[in-house]
Amino acid sequence: MVTERGVRKDLSLHSGEQQVNWRVVRGIELRRTEGIEDRAEVLGAALRGRVPRHRLRAYQAAWGILGAALAWACSPPPAATGTSASDGLVFVRIVEGSNELLRVRLADGAEQALTSTPEREESWPYWSSLAKRLVFQVSRGGSDSDLMLWSPEAGETPLVETPRREERWPAWSPRRTALVYAFRGGHPAAGLVIADLETGERRIAARSGPRDFFFRPSFSPDGSQLIAQRRGPSGTGSFLWLVETGSPPVPLARDPAWFDMKPCFSRDGGHVLFSRRAIAGGPRDVVSISRDGGDLRTLASVDEADDHSAQPSPARDEIVFVSDRDGHPEVFLADLDGSRVRKLTRAGLSAFAPRWSPDGNRLVVTATQSDAPEPRLTDRASLRAARVVVLDREGNELLDVPGFMPDWMPPWR
């Protein structure tokens, strides 16, 4: 059952008010040959029989137009009704003890429930405007998980449900109606699968053993390659591997002194951005490496600060990342080379996992109060306290609702 309700938003008085255009009002008045007169006097004269009926009708018409103009000018502006993926969100919220998916419309803050399934847990929803589908993980107790699809036309359908095998980390292709996901269990023991939703074909893009498994894959902008994390042969560490159709996987960054994580391609596909920390421990840095394995450089690093989770803008040569350089995790914006760093989140707010809107003008983060613990999947109390916050590129907050794991998705009409 679909439910919808409004969510209160604090709006600036300057952003919400409209001023009366007195030139328009004056023009309405002066276009009448009778000139400007007091409405009560005109009506009183009519009752006394001193105003011809045709003139009274003219006065009434003029005042009707004037009243409509004033009502329009003084009324609040209608909510914007954008329909792109940059105008809405899908996210997870704990509802009566169960993880459920909800949607929210940025124009008015209205919400819509997408699932109501207390028998299972939903997580990590991702929308594809090309495929016009949502993919998300579901689990029914234990560590196993399956992947489900949802579309406005077909509703919910399973992408893959395999007993004694877990499927995780789905990521959409930017060029076709396909996605990649990581699996563990069965034969082969682990690997990456590309599922083509148009043809129904499922192809194993990379295989691995049970310990050196792949996870967190993502496509290059042209859809020709994948970048993914992979455990070492003993099941420890984390290294970056490139996967290309028809070719065996090749390591991109495999320095045993470092733990590399959260890779993604730059907007032009020429570099991979990722976070790394020393195996011996310590804070993380934001690093980039060229697609051929050269040009390794640090983009964000402050002594004793934890810098991570970089995401390149889809529209500009800039990145957003998380850093605790000012005492707690906050979101920062920087040029693609790491210069001109500026903070976006307000004081008192800790923010995690930034995601750009498709048009590159907004960001959504999972946030908490700065004195609250970081949201963790194993800590239900921290997830209940988490919020979904939308920011523009200047750091202005556009939306704040309870939830976590947000992604961009077109609003309903």
pLDDT in tens, 302-348: 989 999 999 999 999 999 999 999 999 999 999 999 999 999 999 89
pLDDT in tens, 215-252: 999 999 999 999 999 999 999 999 999 999 889 999 99
- The full DSSP string for 198-247 is TT--EEEEEEE-SSS-EEEEEE-TTSSEEEEEE--TTS-S-EEEEEETTS
Q: Are 277 and 283 in contact (CB under 8 A)?
A: yes
Q: Which residue has the tokens 């077109």?
A: 410
Cis? peptide before 411, omega within 30° of 0: no
pLDDT in tens, 150-181: 999 999 999 988 878 899 999 999 999 999 99
pLDDT over 50 (residue 195): yes
pLDDT over 60 (residue 398): yes
Nearest Cα neighbor of 362 from 335, 331, 338 is 331
For the segment 86-100, the average pLDDT, to the nearest whole number, is: 97
Q: Distance from CA of residue 328 to its chain's centroid?
A: 22
pLDDT at res. 81: 61
pLDDT over 50 (residue 7): no
pLDDT over 50 (residue 11): no
Which 3 state secondary structure label does DSSP give 180?
strand
pLDDT in tens, 255-293: 999 999 999 999 999 999 999 999 999 999 999 999 999
Q: How far apart are CA 217 and CA 172, in angstroms?
A: 10
Average pLDDT for the chain: 84
For the segment 80-102, the average pLDDT, to the nearest whole number, is: 92
Q: Are 202 and 195 in contact (CB under 8 A)?
A: yes
Polymer length of the chain:
413
- Neighbour count for residue 285 (Cβ, 10 Å): 22
